[in-house]
Amino acid sequence: MFDPRLSVVEGDITRLAVDAIVNAANESLLGGGGVDGAIHAAAGPDLLEECRALGGCPTGEARITSGHRLSVKFVIHAVGPVWQGGTKNEDALLASCYVQSVKLAAQAGAASLAFPAISTGIYRFPPDRAAKIAIEATQAALADLPLPDRVIFCCFDHATAAIYRQLLGVDES
Ligand code: ADP
């Protein structure tokens, strides 16, 4: 049975009304394409300045900043692995992104948290395998924590949302 705090939404993560969103960042933390570009564009140049001061982040880890011009309080920058066929510890590194992000959100007091499908775009991680890892790692991390009390998997496309809905056993909506 899955944690009732987990849910699926289809859409643009920069438009969600939550306390914290996760960015699928790269090790430089200096912005990029995909969801990273969308988050930096919406948050404005002060986010880039705050990220620059962090001095990067290794793959599998996460760092927290404020949300700047976004309506969220926090952006959690998680660096997912580039898919290299599955033999380079990609599964564990991806799981670690979800666990670290949940822990950072909890420490910051975020009541609601939204994740994109980390590594499944430019980094080419197979989406069904990534979704299973995302759900399992998030659920495991939440088990010890009262917050966040709502975690949304924000899927940019219908196919990804369908994978999450099927894994979580929720109806199409
Ligand atoms: P990565 O480099 O980790 O693969 P990408 O940003 O290329 O990161 O893709 C990660 C996922 O985020 C993909 O499923 C992509 O479709 C999705 N995505 C892209 N833009 C947005 C957005 N604005 N909101 C939510 N998800 C997005």
- Quick: pLDDT tens for 3-27: 999 999 999 999 999 999 999 999 9
The top-level CATH class assigned to 6-168 is alpha beta
pLDDT band at 173 (very low <50, low <70, confident <90, very high): low
Residue 120 neighbours by CB under 8 Å, 6+ apart = 126, 127, 130, 160
Q: Is the CB of 36 under 6 A from ligand 1?
A: yes
Q: Is the CB of 9 under 6 A from ligand 1?
A: no
pLDDT over 80 at 172, yes or no = no
Residue-level pLDDT at 144? 85
Average pLDDT in the chain: 97
User: How far is residue 60's CA from residue 141's CA, in Å, rounded to a whole number?
Assistant: 15
Pocket test of ligand 1: the residue of 9, 59, 156 to mutate, having most ligand atoms within 8 Å of its CB, is 156
Mean pLDDT of 80-96: 98
Residue 160 neighbours by CB under 8 Å, 6+ apart = 117, 120, 127, 131
| Maximum separation of any 2 CA atoms in the chain, in Å | 43
Q: What is the DSSP letter of 72?
A: S
In the structure encoding, which two tokens stand for residue 146, read together?
């009262």
Residue spans per domain, the chain: 6-168
The catalytic position among 3, 12, 36, 157 is 36
- Please compute Rg for the chain using Cα positions: 15
Q: Is the CB of 117 under 6 A from ligand 1?
A: yes
Residue-level pLDDT at 6? 98
For residue 144, indicate whether it is catalytic: no
